[in-house]
Structure 1
Amino acid sequence: MDSLAFTKNLQHQSRRIFYRNASKTPTASEKGFTMIELLVVIIIIGVLSAIAAPGWLAFTNKQRMNAVNDAALNTLREAQREAKRTKQSYSISFKTDADGVPQVAVYLAKDSKGILLPASSWKKLGENQEMPKGTVLVGTNLTGVNTAGSSLTPLTGNQTQPITFDYQGNLSSEYNSPNLGPNNKGLIVSVALTQSGFSGTKRCVIVRTLLGSIQTGQDNQCIP
């Protein structure tokens, strides 16, 4: 067989193979996923989501708790700075709104003796953080102006007794003699998840000395 005949024969065989393959009916794998396969994938995704959701929720709530604690720390420092800057006594109080969301107010101490602060004085703690109702629990050991008690009291709708800084940024003795409580634990603002309460994981801010030293703590450090 010469080369020309061989080439023609090869072309003829190639055309036969091409047309035979083109006329084949696609197999199940060539058609794509079957309904059963899709259902299996959906079930697997559902199971994985159910496993991951509680862990993600716990992580998110812990981040909210940390954000509220950071906000309490920053606001206490803000009150102390304003007292030093203006050479006037400044106070800070906490409360919760009707939805159980913690709030804070910084104000001139002389403007609030014996009166409730107006609604415009309050802002949400962790105001840039989404805070579903009843997620975070905030409490203090304040029993009077700059006076520490021996237990944490959860915030209610009423404003707490204030923490007041004098013109030097120290705990003011103008309205009440500072009393940091037994063992000098300090004035404590504690934050926990509502679900576990103050017996669970906690974060806190502590005004520990008469000089207005502000520190953060966690868990056992947050117990008066």
Structure 2
Amino acid sequence: MKRRRVLNSRSSTDGFTLIEILVVVIITGILFAIAAPNWVAFVNQQRVSAARTQVSQAIRNAQSKASRTKVAQAIVFENRIGQSLRYAIVPISDTNAPVVDRTKIKTWENIGDASALRLSVAQGDFASPPPLIFNIYGSVITTNLPTAALDQPLYTVTIGTTRSANPRRCVRVTTLLGATEEASDSACPPNRTS
């Protein structure tokens, strides 16, 4: 019986005091406040990098499809405010006067996984950038693109977040043969909003 009383009296003093619990909660809150901005920046960087990889792959797919099918292909990008970015690869019948009717495209693919991304093409309008067109050999057709200086890429797609200037990632088509390169932050043109 004495043993039972000892156990009962011991269990009534076990546990944490209110002050100990408050200290743990406050320390956890401070650690979370320090880590949260870094975590958000990391997540944004990963989203933008994944979208850049997707754009780069889409450009390579359009080029490959053009040379494989022997039909000129255009890759069309579209910004939709408040919605996901998207692209489509469509055949072009007349490469001398290439026209892409965006309203007739049914094969749109979303870029990235969030509406917090923004895309701009350095060579064109923000809302409807000019398409990047590959001929039947997989080379870039430049008739629909503004004339670029010799040291400038033919076509540059910049992807960033809607909330800040960085992180910025871009894919540049640098030669008439369609060679691409990827760049980051200051090596990319600013992401336009209009």
TM-score, L = length of structure 1: 0.72
Aligned equivalent of 2:174: 208
- 1:27 Cα deviation after fit: 7.5
Deviations 1:62-116 (A, max 9, x none): 1001011111100000100110110010001111224242111111122872522
Between 115-124 and 91-100, the greater mean CA deviation after superposition:
115-124
AA partner of residue 79 (structure 1): A
Provide the secondary structure at the position in 2 that maps to 1:121. coil
State the shift of 1:37 in Å: 1.7
Structure 2 unaligned residues grouped into runs of 5+: none
Structure 1 residues 119, 47: CA separation in 2 closer, same or farther (over 3 Å shift)?
farther
Q: Residues 214 and 57 of structure 1: is their aligned pair in 2 closer, same or farther, counting only changes over 3 Å?
A: same
| Larger Rg belongs to | 1
Which structure is higher in helix share? 1
Regions of 4+ moved over 4 Å: 177-180
- Which whole-Å CA distance do the structure 2 matches of 1:140 and 1:177 have between them? 13
Shift in Å at residue 179 of structure 1?
5.7
Match of 1:223 among 167, 176, 189: 189
Determine the structure 2 residue equivalent to 1:26.
10
- 1:1-224 paired onto structure 2 within 5 Å: 19=2, 22-24=4-6, 25-26=9-10, 30-110=13-93, 113=99, 115-118=101-104, 120-126=106-112, 129=113, 131=114, 133=115, 135-143=116-124, 155-156=126-127, 159-172=128-141, 176=143, 181-186=148-153, 187-197=155-165, 200-223=166-189
- Distance in 2, Cα, partners of 1:38 & 1:163: 60
Instruction: Decide whether the 8 Å contact of 1:88 with 1:167 is kept in 2.
Output: yes
Aligned length in residues:
184
Q: Is the 8 A contact 1:90 1:106 kept in 2?
A: yes
Alpha-carbon distance in 2 for matches of 1:35, 1:170 = 71
Backbone CA RMSD of aligned residues: 2.6
Structure 1 residues 168 and 114 mapped into 2: Cα distance closer, same or farther (>3 Å)?
A: closer
Kept in 2, the 8 Å contact 1:79–1:90? The answer is yes
